[in-house]
């Protein structure tokens, strides 16, 4: 089995190497570029500094010039390394303010991520006068139509609702220049691929296609070539499944005691902002309810809730202070709450890639993070899989 998997991976890698003549590898440290040296307009620079960004991160240094030069780019760098601004800054820079039609479209796998990315791009583009709009399902369509009619330069949205607007002709991609797939490997997987191909067909006038994610399997890069022109790959992590800036622990227990163990963990991290992942929507409801009953300050986030409840939960979690958010994997991709101290996996994720995205909700940008995974005997094979690539220690309670 193992040998077969290795052979498959090797073949896949060979295909990748053969089909990607323009692979650019990490050059971190060679250039100590500042934002000024990236040739961006004063209005954008001033907005970036107002946001508190002093120096570009490695992925930003590498991809901003490439995107500005008009290239198609596949960008891979770890969670929390500033990928949003890596495409957001050049998008804002290239926007023709005088033309009030949609020039850039960014697709994200979740509604919360669409909202977050729209906010970041809107901040970057504030002083240039770039108009940004988030378009996602679960919210009334009329206000979105009115916003679009009022003229927007950049649209950030989830595939289903974007397609809905395209079919109603309330979103027009005639002047589209750039399309970005954020969390590209998720966006290009089975659940979304049909919608994405249709949207890309609507956006056939585009000049550039950009793909960003912390994990970029060769299969996805190969698939993406269908939609991209002579893309250049910027890969910042040597092995994207290795996470070094997060201290990782596991606690073993029996299924009946998982909640008790979770409470002990929460009690030992009382002053912290904690994100707890569960496997299903029902489980998040159940665990959040149990914790609330025991007096914890807890919010929940899952696909069963109405969108306004979901937005309210995440906004509450973002506010300063120690609190707990119990969520499904809807929160595992892209969500940036920089002050999150701890991620707890109440249930193990489906695979190693999801594990890397989940724990990546802590340790954002230049911070360190901490993650604790609760396991039972049946999770041993998953634990071994993590241990093959990541340093993980047994968690000891203080008393």
Can you say whether the dihedral through the CA atoms of 349, 350, 351, 353 is positive or negative? Answer: negative
* Per rule CB under 5 A, count of chain residues that contact Mg ion: 2
Q: Which is nearer to ligand ADP, 53 or 299 (CB)?
A: 53
Nearest approach, Cβ of 41 to ligand ADP (angstroms)?
17
* Residue 357 binds Mg ion, judged by CB under 5 A: no
Nearest approach, Cβ of 81 to Mg ion (angstroms)?
9
* Residue 125 binds ligand ADP, judged by CB under 6 A: no
Residues of this chain, 221-260, that bind Mg ion according to CB under 5 A: none
Q: Which is nearer to ligand ADP, 48 or 199 (CB)?
A: 48
Instruction: Report DSSP state, residue 180.
Output: E
Nearest approach, Cβ of 63 to ligand ADP (angstroms)?
11
Strand-pair partners of 250: 373, 394
Give the integer Cα–Cα distance in Å for 390 and 246.
10
Candidate list 101, 338, 376, 383; residue touching ligand ADP; CB under 6 A: 338
* Residue 354 binds ligand ADP, judged by CB under 6 A: no
* Residue 56 binds ligand ADP, judged by CB under 6 A: yes
Residues of this chain, 287-306, that bind ligand ADP according to CB under 6 A: none
Candidate list 88, 334, 360, 369; residue touching Mg ion; CB under 5 A: 334
Q: Which is nearer to Mg ion, 310 or 333 (CB)?
A: 333
Helices (H), the chain: 2-19, 42-50, 58-68, 83-94, 111-125, 141-149, 159-168, 184-187, 193-202, 218-224, 258-268, 281-293, 307-318, 352-359, 380-389
Nearest approach, Cβ of 79 to Mg ion (angstroms)?
7
* Residue 364 binds Mg ion, judged by CB under 5 A: no
At residue 280's C-alpha, the angle toward residues 83 and 364, to 5°, is 25
Crossing angle of helices 159-168 and 141-149, in 10° steps, is 60
* Residue 235 binds ligand ADP, judged by CB under 6 A: no
Percent of residues in the chain assigned helix, strand, coil, to nearest 5: 45, 20, 40
Give the integer Cα–Cα distance in Å for 152 and 382.
46
Given a contact cutoff of 8 angstroms between Cβ atoms, the answer to whether 83 and 108 are in contact is no
382 binds, among ligand ADP, Mg ion, none (CB under 5 to 8 A by kind): none
Residues of this chain, 53-92, that bind Mg ion according to CB under 5 A: 83
Give the integer Cα–Cα distance in Å for 81 and 230.
25
Give the integer Cα–Cα distance in Å for 296 and 283.
17
Q: Which is nearer to Mg ion, 123 or 309 (CB)?
A: 123
> Both tokens of residue 1?
């089995």
* Residue 109 binds ligand ADP, judged by CB under 6 A: no
Q: Which is nearer to ligand ADP, 72 or 336 (CB)?
A: 336
Point out which residues bind Mg ion (CB under 5 A): 83, 334
Point out which residues bind ligand ADP (CB under 6 A): 53, 56-57, 60, 77, 79-85, 334, 336, 338, 364-365
């Amino acid at each position: 089995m193992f040998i077969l998997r290795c052979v498959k991976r090797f073949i896949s890698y060979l295909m990748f190497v053969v089909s990607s003549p323009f692979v650019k590898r990490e050059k971190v440290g060679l250039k100590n570029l500042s934002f000024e040296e990236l040739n961006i307009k004063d209005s954008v620079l001033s907005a970036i500094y107002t946001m508190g960004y002093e120096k570009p991160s490695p992925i930003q240094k590498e991809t901003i010039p490439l995107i500005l030069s008009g290239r198609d780019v596949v960008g891979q760098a770890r969670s929390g390394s500033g990928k949003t601004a890596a495409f957001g800054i050049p998008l804002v820079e290239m926007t023709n303010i005088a033309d009030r039609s949609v020039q850039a479209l960014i697709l994200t796998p979740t509604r919360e991520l669409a909202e977050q990315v729209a906010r970041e791009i809107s901040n970057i583009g504030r002083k240039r006068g770039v108009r940004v709009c988030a378009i996602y399902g679960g919210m009334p369509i009329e206000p979105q139509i009115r916003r679009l009619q009022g003229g927007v330069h950049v649209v950030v949205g989830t595939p289903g609702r974007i397609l809905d607007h395209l079919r109603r002709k309330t979103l027009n991609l005639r002047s589209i220049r750039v399309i970005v797939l954020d969390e590209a490997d998720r966006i290009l997987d089975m659940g979304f691929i049909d919608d994405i191909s249709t949207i890309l067909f609507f956006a056939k006038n585009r000049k550039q296609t950009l793909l960003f994610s912390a994990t970029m399997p060769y299969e996805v890069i190969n698939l993406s070539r269908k939609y991209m022109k002579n893309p250049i790959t910027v890969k910042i992590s040597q092995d994207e499944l290795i996470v070094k800036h997060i201290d990782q622990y596991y606690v073993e227990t029996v299924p009946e005691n998982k909640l008790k163990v979770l409470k002990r963990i929460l009690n030992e991290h009382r002053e912290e902002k904690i994100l707890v992942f569960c496997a299903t929507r029902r489980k998040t409801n159940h665990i959040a309810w149990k914790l609330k009953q025991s007096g914890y300050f807890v919010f929940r986030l899952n696909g069963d809730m109405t969108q306004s409840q979901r937005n309210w939960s995440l906004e509450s979690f973002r506010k300063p202070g120690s609190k707990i958010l119990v969520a499904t994997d809807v929160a595992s991709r892209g969500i940036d709450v920089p002050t999150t101290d701890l991620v707890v996996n109440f249930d193990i994720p489906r695979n190693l890639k999801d594990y890397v995205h989940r724990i990546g909700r802590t340790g954002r940008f230049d911070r360190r993070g901490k993650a604790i995974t609760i396991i039972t005997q049946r999770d041993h094979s998953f634990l071994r899989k993590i241990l093959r690539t990541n340093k993980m220690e047994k968690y000891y309670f203080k008393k």
